[in-house]
Structure 1
Amino acid sequence: MNVIIIEDEDRSARQLERMLKKYDPAVQVLAQLPSVSESVAWLSQHSVPDLILMDIHLEDGLAFSIFEQIQLTVPIIFTTAYDEYMIKAFKVNSIDYLLKPVDYDELVNALDKFKTLRSVASSPDLTKLLQVVQQFRESPFKERFMVSIGTKIRSVETGEIAYFFSEEKATFLTTKEGQLLPLEYSLDQLTGMLNPSQFFRMNRQFLVARTAIQTIHVYSAGKLKVDLRPTPRQEVLVSLSRIADFKDWLGR
């Protein structure tokens, strides 16, 4: 079975490849593609694979843009952190979905489903999916995140989030109640996914909700220190290059 993985997080892509090999050592991963543009280019120049594993949020936009540029007749398994109203559209014909972080047993079930559908020559029907995608694009900002807590998955609305931060190459969100939860997204990705009227990128480590700001301290040379609620594990300073934008954002 020939597979391509469309996923912009290298760690997630490597994990998917390991699980595919565990499922069937004969699986060949032909390519790992991190963006819409690279995916369109690869699919235009190569024979179609047997199966595509596709993340929804890629480094240059939503993966659905691929469907607008090239006609796909290959089964797709989506990996997604989107909520239920989107997921309902994924389960059409040979399309399936896996919530991130991907569980091996769920991947096995999806691959078994793919094999069954392939045996009856089914091909994907993207009509319903694209209809829901259009509705999603009318409200482009993310309203909730699916996060793992042990063996459970929790839906966290953006209104519950105080701030996001990065630490040792990992990303976390902190709820207003002080719960710290891991995320698959980078801060750069999150900056483009959240409503800019509600969240501001303070520096390379912190992306903060307006409602989490408690006090702002002015230091010498115009530096700003921001106290957040709940209190983070490190000081939050506004980058010098961001101070003017931060003041403008506060005044809106």
Structure 2
Amino acid sequence: MNVLIVEDEYFSAERLRKMIANMDASMHVLAVIPSVFETIAYLQNEANTSPDLIFLDIHLEDDNGFRIVESLNLTIPVIFTTAFDEYALKAFKTNSIDYLLKPINPLELQASLVKFKKLNATLPPASGANAAEALVAEKYKDRFLCTAGSRIFTFTSIEIAYFVIEEKATFLRLFDGRHFAVEYSLDKLSQLMDPAQFFRINRSLMISITAIRNIHAITAGKLKIDLDPALGQETYVSADRVSAFKNWLGR
């Protein structure tokens, strides 16, 4: 896996390089580039190896890092690194995997790399920019931006166990147990989410197939589902959805 680091602070770049090497020996840092101009030149040069992932500082010595994304219409996945948090929303509107604040926390870096690998694993065989273009062209929604207080988080669909309506609001529940409000109704999510991964089992719940722990046939036409993480209440498939649910399980 080829990585490009765009960073104008030498010690920050070296620290990041060492952390990447210690966490994943399969990740090869192609180069450390300190400026927008040099990065654009590197990426436009077909003789250079195309990176699979770019760590991009926002404040560089000659311009704003977003200039690289905008100038090249960049489709290579990006993890933004910065000492400032005011650009988070803009970063998540680009082809970004994550947004890390300096000094970079090793655990947060590791989580970002895991997220990137999970995204890559869902793509058909491809490399470099082609894989990123496939990610951008994905038909179904694969990323959610959520807030908790002043903090901003982004999650991919494979991190989500289910969507649930609680007190007239829609929440997503992650496999690690955390939950966040989302701005979509379940009706809208039924259109946005990959039907191979998510199924709406009743009026208030849409689940990921990987969140199913057990299925119990209560009667011929009634199914009870055990979820992981647990919902906190008994969960049933609506009678009018049982047939479609079984077809979904066996597709």
TM-score, normalised via structure 2 length: 0.47
TM-score, normalised via structure 1 length: 0.47
